[in-house]
Amino acid sequence: MARIEEAVRWTIMRLVRREVKGAVAPLAREVRELRGEVSRLRKGVSALERAAARQARQAEVVRSRVAASEVEVKAARLSPTLIHKLRTRLGLTQEQMAALVGVSGSAVAQWEAGSIRPQGQNRAALVGLRKLGRRDVKRLLAAKSAARRRKSKKARRRRG
């Protein structure tokens, strides 16, 4: 009797395993597909987060650009003495002012010496600088140097 009982139990267990396997196999496949989808979505979200951060940094740089309206630029007087006074009022070196405006340090020196005059965007940037205080200028310089460091870090990664 024990043998028959064991044979029946074994047969029932085999049939149960087959039924369970038949019910679980499609679910396991679905779980694998869903895990793959979640992984792809995570990668997509992290790529979007990186893009959003990059966009925010670029927007900060755009906001940090110094500019003025065309009317203000046309009406502004920019003599060599006024450029020098502006630079000293803001507590900037010629190199720092050059970095803010987007020119070389020697260009600022030549503006202050009166040998050349700022034109176009450079003139607009100088007029825009007149509206700012020392704190604003220091913040802009910090943002520009941080952007410069990020660019050089990326360039080093590409090379190495």
97-109 pLDDT, tens per residue?
998 888 999 999 9
Task: Take residue 75 and report the two structure tokens written for it.
Answer: 């009406």
- pLDDT of 61 > 70? The answer is no
> How confident is the model at residue 63, as a pLDDT?
54
Structure tokens at 134: 């020392």
Question: For residues 111 and 117, is the Cβ–Cβ distance under 8 A?
Answer: yes
Q: What tokens appear for 62 in the block?
A: 């755009």
**Reported confidence tier of residue 49, pLDDT bands at 50, 70, 90:** very high
Lowest mean pLDDT across 16-30, 114-128, 136-150:
136-150
Is the pLDDT at 59 greater than 70, yes or no?
no
What's the whole-number mean pLDDT along residues 127-146? Answer: 86
Q: How far is CA 138 from each of CA 92, 141, 143, rounded to the nearest angstrom? A: 9, 5, 9
pLDDT at 108: 95
pLDDT band of residue 60 (cuts 50, 70, 90) is low
What CATH number was assigned to the domain covering residues 66-159? 1.10.260.40
pLDDT at 79 over 80: yes
